[in-house]
Amino acid sequence: MNYKITFISCILISLITLSCTKIHNHSTKQSLPDKEPRKERVYFTYGLKSKKGSESGDIYIVQKGDSLYSISLLYDVNYLKIASWNNINSPYRLMVGDKIVIKSNKYRKEVGNNKKVSKNNKKIKYTKNVKWVRPHNGKVSKEFSYSDVGKKGIDISGVLGDNIYSTGDGMVVYTGNGIKGYGNLIIIKHNETFLSAYAHTSKILVEENNIVKKGQIIANLGDTDSIKPILHFQIRKNGKPVDPEKYLP
């Protein structure tokens, strides 16, 4: 009888020990290693080229798809000045690998637009006074900023595929996606003073050198190089960005 009691007691002690061991192991489960903090992507670098060029000058190496107008947009300088500094005549053709001199502010006032650049034989009549229309009727989600760094225009919200309209009569002088952060981009020359730019489009419906009329559909709204569907719109006066809302109806 004593033998049976002793045997049963041993079994009970063994079960209790195993149970405690399981509980102990569960409570001391090894924790997972901490995840590394997510690194934010450095993306909004617009204006850095312009800042460097204005302060100390720069040398830009022409890439595939570049034009004098896209380089002008990058550096916030009138394309005629860049043409003058580099002895580039109309129609301002560039070759991949060309070195484009961008002069600092110290020399910009002296040179200005005094040096004449040869005009293209094909004359295009531009209107002196641009009659502006809105490129899209969506809500302005980001207003114009006067900061040194940042895109120099307004953001207009919309739906993928919405029509985008030319804001005035002119000629398409650039289509492409060669400028980081702008996605599919269109630049229209309205006269020797004004350019307009349309960024993040999903589909470009015009080609370079096309003549467009105000209100003409030139693209569809998109989200290329953007986190959401928007139209980033700019107006440039003598190469410098201005607040579009001061010109649009």
Provide the pLDDT for residue 152.
84
* pLDDT per position as a tens digit, 79-110: 999 999 999 998 888 999 999 999 988 887 64
Nearest to 234 by CA among 24, 40, 46: 46
The mean pLDDT value of the chain amounts to 80
Secondary structure of residue 148 in the 3-state scheme: coil
Fold for the domain defined by 140-246: Glucose Permease (Domain IIA) (2.70.70)
Question: Can you list the alpha helix ranges (DSSP code H) found in 1-47?
Answer: 2-27
pLDDT in tens, the chain (249 residues): 555 555 555 555 555 554 444 444 444 445 555 544 433 333 344 567 777 877 888 999 999 888 899 898 888 888 999 999 999 998 888 999 999 999 988 887 644 444 444 444 456 778 889 999 999 999 999 999 877 566 689 999 999 999 999 999 999 999 999 888 899 999 999 999 999 999 999 999 999 999 999 999 999 999 999 999 999 999 999 988 999 999 999
Provide the pLDDT for residue 6.
54
Q: What is the pTM of this model?
A: 0.72
Tally of CB atoms within 10 A around 6: 9
Cα–Cα distance between 55 and 109 in angstroms, integer? 13
Provide the pLDDT for residue 189.
95
Two domains, one topology: 48-111 and 140-246 = no
Nearest to 74 by CA among 114, 46, 36, 100: 46
Q: Taking the domains of the chain in order of start, what are their residue ranges? A: 48-111, 140-246
Provide the pLDDT for residue 116.
47
Provide the pLDDT for residue 53.
78
Provide the pLDDT for residue 12.
54
* CATH number for the segment(s) 48-111: 3.10.350.10
* pLDDT per position as a tens digit, 175-204: 999 888 899 999 999 999 999 999 999 999
- 97 sits in which H/E element: none
Provide the pLDDT for residue 30.
54
Provide the pLDDT for residue 112.
40
In contact, 230 and 188? CB cutoff 8 Å:
no
Provide the pLDDT for residue 45.
47
In contact, 175 and 208? CB cutoff 8 Å:
yes
Cα–Cα distance between 249 and 245 in angstroms, integer? 8
